[in-house]
Amino acid sequence: MADYRELWKSLDMDLEKHDKLCEVLPEFYEDVYLSQKNRPEGMNYYNFVISEVHGLRIKELDDHKQNGGKVLGTFCVFVPDEIIFSADAIGVGLCGGSDFWVPDGEKVLPRNICPLIKASVGAKISGTCPYFQSADMLVGETTCDGKKKAWEILNDYTPIHVMDLPQMKRENDKKHWKDEIKLFMDKVEELTGNKITEERLNNAIKLINRKRRVLQRLYNTRKADKLPISGKDALLITQIAFYDDLERFIQKTEELCDELERRIEKGVGVFPENTPRILVTGTPMAIPNWKIHHLIETSGGSVVCEETCTGTRYFENTVKENNKTLDEQIDALTDRYLNINCACFTPNEGRIDDIIRLYKEYNADGVIYNTLSFCHTYSVEYKKVKEALDKEGIPVMMIESDYSLQDSGQIKTRLEAFFEML
């Protein structure tokens, strides 16, 4: 990797602590990813992205800022990237997925909240995440209580704009969300000094739809009898989609899909025949949280789909294109985004329908319901999901876990018993 120390210094990072983070990641990546057999050639691009995760992309963000551009950090798939990109700003997903950041998060947060929140806050206050350090503004949202209150803490470090997300989907909630998108637009225009015009927004909608479509194409390859790609690799690609350069990501992922489709034609798979096919549903897996996928795929299973925000919830629906007026475009954004079925909503029947539909579409054998520790919305919602899956005769097992590897052995034993039963 090139020397980025001067760049990191200019971002006011804690270099000593950051060195420690850089020491552990390559070994971890090698264990989890490079140990896989028969990986598609196209995965080399994503290996490269990871090897440069705090380097090249940060340099690109820095170049953008040197040219007067802005960088915005987001934490939820409800924040419309189209608004950010149409003002010539760059949006990056900032959710923390590493145990490394949890102790710093616990300095300012209670211990008994979700690790994603602790890691995100810890990443900022430890000064070891160059993406956080590059952000001119953060965008929060009123989803779960833990996140909502964490924004007040993060605001002491970087200005944050909070979008008030309704928790129901009635007509007046739609109106409210539309107003929130407009307020966000004003804020982004003020920050960047760029006017969001019909043409610019239309172009951004098309660009981000292209990203969604290539992810749909990737996921479609996972419906094949012989899986051309592991669940771990597919998860990695979705995680990278949150911060990579859009055009490059789309091109590289199209190329990978060409290869995967050729594999399907030839009947090349990455797992032995009759490996149980698992649909994972639940809380998002922020990079580098690969724990559950790794455990599933080293315990005799394969992951065929994720009903998560680092899975189908991120790209399943596209925004209607070619609306004439700005107002119609904002309506299209409102409709698309309020269609996401997050457990923060009540009721949230749509998610149950999605899980059953995806289970069938991907020809899965069982469902792993994964929730991060202390995530109330997803853990409470399990009861309703389980009842519905039981009715359909779909086997399901719940795993509640954090980022530490202490419970790995125990989870592995439970997974093996579950797969045996399928």
User: Which region, judged by CB under 6 A, interacts with ligand BJ8, from 178-186, 261-269, 373-381, 405-413?
Assistant: 373-381
Q: Which of 231, 284, 288, 366 binds ligand BJ8 (CB under 6 A)?
A: 284
The reply on whether position 94 binds ligand BJ8 by CB under 6 A is: no
Neighbour count for residue 218 (Cβ, 10 Å): 22
The reply on whether position 143 binds ligand BJ8 by CB under 6 A is: yes
Burial class (CB in 10 A: 0-12, 13-18, 19+), 72: buried
The reply on whether position 370 binds ligand BJ8 by CB under 6 A is: no
Paired tokens of 286: 């922020």
- Quote the least distance from Cβ 78 to ligand BJ8, whole Å: 5
The answer to whether the CB of 275 falls within 8 A of the CB of 300 is: yes
The reply on whether position 102 binds ligand BJ8 by CB under 6 A is: no
- Quote the least distance from Cβ 106 to ligand BJ8, whole Å: 15
The reply on whether position 375 binds ligand BJ8 by CB under 6 A is: yes
Q: Supply φ then ψ for residue 350, to 5 degrees.
A: -55, -35
- Quote the least distance from Cβ 376 to ligand BJ8, whole Å: 7
Q: How far apart are CA 114 and CA 147, in angstroms?
A: 9
- Count how many Cα atoms sit within 13 Å of the Cα of residue 108 in the half-sphere of its side chain: 22
Q: How far apart are CA 118 and CA 111, in angstroms?
A: 8
The reply on whether position 338 binds ligand BJ8 by CB under 6 A is: no
Sketch the per residue contact string, 53 through 92, with ligand BJ8: x for CB under 6 A, - otherwise.
Answer: -----------------------xxx--------------
Q: Which of 123, 257, 344, 368 binds ligand BJ8 (CB under 6 A)?
A: 344
Beta bridge partners of 302: 277
The answer to whether the CB of 85 falls within 8 A of the CB of 208 is: yes
User: Which region, judged by CB under 6 A, interacts with ligand BJ8, from 141-149, 194-202, 223-231, 264-272?
Assistant: 141-149
Q: How far apart are CA 137 and CA 163, in angstroms?
A: 13
Q: Is the peptide bond before 288 cis (omega within 30 degrees of 0)?
A: yes
The reply on whether position 415 binds ligand BJ8 by CB under 6 A is: no
Binding site for ligand BJ8 (CB under 6 A): 76-78, 114, 116-117, 143-144, 146-147, 283-284, 309, 340, 342, 344, 372, 375, 377-378
